[in-house]
């Protein structure tokens, strides 16, 4: 029979999109998602994204499984791909359109723009250590520039949740970081009870940051939208950047802004259709 899917990427962070609009539960299991994401024995992707019926007044619900089968609350690059995919399911390509999407991190609002970019209202950053969650600061405090010992070295880290947890470290030279060696040690550090996405950031200018990411449940990826948002928030909290900046990822740049009055984070970037296929 086969499972119809579409493949999309956001700056090389790639996803298998499934039309799950007729059922409230994902049509593939976490174990099947691991198989689909396998780059040698499967389709190959960083995650599987489901377009489910809306809840709480939303147009749709988005759920995602990482390539290891775990389920994150949110996915910034994924939601841009999600918006393009639902527009194509609705036969509305190349139109400006705003969606309200229910996620495990609350309501998220992607808007398709005339130039093909997608702007996403990512909501509020969560800074209370207990809610990130991290033990790096007491409940009610922010974990900004706290010391974390990893691989025999003390790192000054800032913890931010964009619905999913992120640990941000500012370094002189992002290229010099041995990400595959230390990334897993950050991800599984006991200071992060839900594990963590891990970002290393070089401040090139106050409006231009360079970031490399080790993702929880997915490892090294070319881009991470929630990670780029968490990076900008951490840079502002540490007095290292403007409230609006370009965050350059290995797969390309995202524009991120953190509004002073509304406290909301906005992200603008591309989402690219790759191909349609049938699995099995
Ligand atoms: O929080 C997590 O477990 C992440 N691996 C989820 C995926 C995040 C993503 N890369 C993004 O762009 O935000 C999709």
Task: Ligand 1, residue 224: give the atom nearest the CA.
Answer: 12
Task: Ligand 1, residue 166: give the atom nearest the CA.
Answer: 1
* Active-site annotation holds for 81: no
pLDDT at residue 93 in the model: 79
pTM: predicted TM-score of the whole model, two decimal places? 0.95
pLDDT above 70 (res 1): no
Centre of ligand 1 to C-alpha 10, Å, is: 12
- CB of 67 within 6 A of ligand 1: the answer is no
The pLDDT-based confidence of 100 (bands split at 50, 70, 90) is: very high
Mean pLDDT of 132-150: 98
* Active-site annotation holds for 37: no
Q: What percent of the chain has pLDDT over 70?
A: 100
pLDDT at residue 237 in the model: 98
C-alpha dist (Å) from residue 181 to 185, 210, 219, 246: 8, 20, 11, 27
Q: What percent of the chain has pLDDT over 90?
A: 98
The pLDDT-based confidence of 94 (bands split at 50, 70, 90) is: confident
- CB of 257 within 6 A of ligand 1: the answer is no
CATH homologous superfamily for the domain 146-263 = Diaminopimelate Epimerase; Chain A, domain 1 (3.10.310.10)
pLDDT tens, 142-183? 999 999 999 999 999 999 999 999 999 999 999 999 999 999
pLDDT above 80 (res 91): yes
Task: Ligand 1, residue 165: give the atom nearest the CA.
Answer: 1
- CB of 161 within 6 A of ligand 1: the answer is no
pLDDT at residue 95 in the model: 85
Closest residue by CA, ligand 1 atom 8: 75
C-alpha dist (Å) from residue 267 to 57, 167, 192, 216: 23, 19, 25, 20
From 1-5, 184-188, 240-244, 271-275, the region with the lowest mean pLDDT = 1-5
Pocket test for ligand 1, best of 12, 162, 164 (most atoms within 8 A of CB): 164
Mean pLDDT of 214-232: 97
pLDDT above 80 (res 70): yes
Catalytic residue among 37, 75, 81, 167: 75
Report which of 274, 229, 12, 45 is spatially closest to residue 119, judged by C-alpha positions: 229
Pocket test for ligand 1, best of 197, 219, 267 (most atoms within 8 A of CB): 197
pLDDT above 90 (res 96): yes
- CB of 164 within 6 A of ligand 1: the answer is yes
Centre of ligand 1 to C-alpha 134, Å, is: 18
CATH topology for 3-116+271-279 is Diaminopimelate Epimerase; Chain A, domain 1 (3.10.310)
Mean pLDDT of 14-23: 98
pLDDT at residue 184 in the model: 98
36, 279 contact by CB (below 8 A) = yes
In the chain, where does the domain assigned CATH 3.10.310.10 lie?
Answer: 3-116+271-279, 146-263
Centre of ligand 1 to C-alpha 261, Å, is: 27
pLDDT tens, 25-39? 999 999 999 999 999
Q: What mean pLDDT is reported for the chain? A: 97
Phi and psi dihedrals of 230, rounded to 5? -60, -35
pLDDT above 70 (res 69): yes
Task: Ligand 1, residue 78: give the atom nearest the CA.
Answer: 14
Q: Which residues pair with 123 in a beta bridge?
A: none
Query: Under 8 Å CB-to-CB from 2, ≥6 apart: which residues?
Result: 278, 279, 280
Dihedral sign for Cα atoms in the order 30, 35, 37, 38: positive
């Amino acid at each position: 029979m086969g499972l119809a899917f579409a493949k999309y990427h956001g700056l090389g962070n790639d996803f298998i999109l499934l039309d799950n609009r007729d059922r409230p539960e994902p049509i593939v299991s976490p174990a099947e998602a691991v198989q689909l994401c396998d780059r040698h024995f499967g389709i190959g992707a960083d995650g599987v994204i489901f377009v489910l019926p809306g809840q709480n007044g939303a147009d749709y619900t988005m759920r995602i499984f990482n390539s290891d089968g775990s389920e994150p609350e949110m996915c910034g690059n994924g939601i841009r791909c999600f918006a393009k995919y639902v527009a194509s399911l609705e036969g509305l390509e190349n139109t400006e359109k705003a969606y309200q999407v229910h996620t495990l991190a609350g309501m998220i609002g992607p808007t398709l723009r005339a130039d093909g970019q997608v702007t996403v209202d990512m909501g509020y950053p969560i800074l209370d250590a207990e809610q990130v969650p991290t033990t790096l600061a007491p409940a009610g405090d922010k974990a900004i520039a706290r010391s974390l010992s990893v691989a025999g070295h003390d790192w000054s880290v800032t913890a931010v949740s964009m619905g999913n947890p992120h640990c941000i470290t500012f370094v002189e030279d992002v290229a010099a970081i041995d990400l595959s060696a230390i990334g897993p040690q950050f991800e599984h550090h006991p200071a992060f009870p839900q594990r963590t996405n891990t970002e290393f950031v070089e401040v090139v200018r106050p409006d231009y940051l360079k970031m490399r990411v080790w993702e929880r449940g997915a490892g090294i990826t070319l881009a991470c939208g929630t990670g780029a948002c968490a990076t900008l928030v951490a840079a502002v909290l540490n007095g290292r950047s403007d409230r609006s900046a370009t965050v350059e990822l290995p797969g390309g740049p995202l524009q991120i802004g953190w509004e002073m009055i509304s406290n909301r984070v906005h992200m603008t970037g591309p989402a690219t259709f790759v191909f349609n296929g049938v699995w099995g």
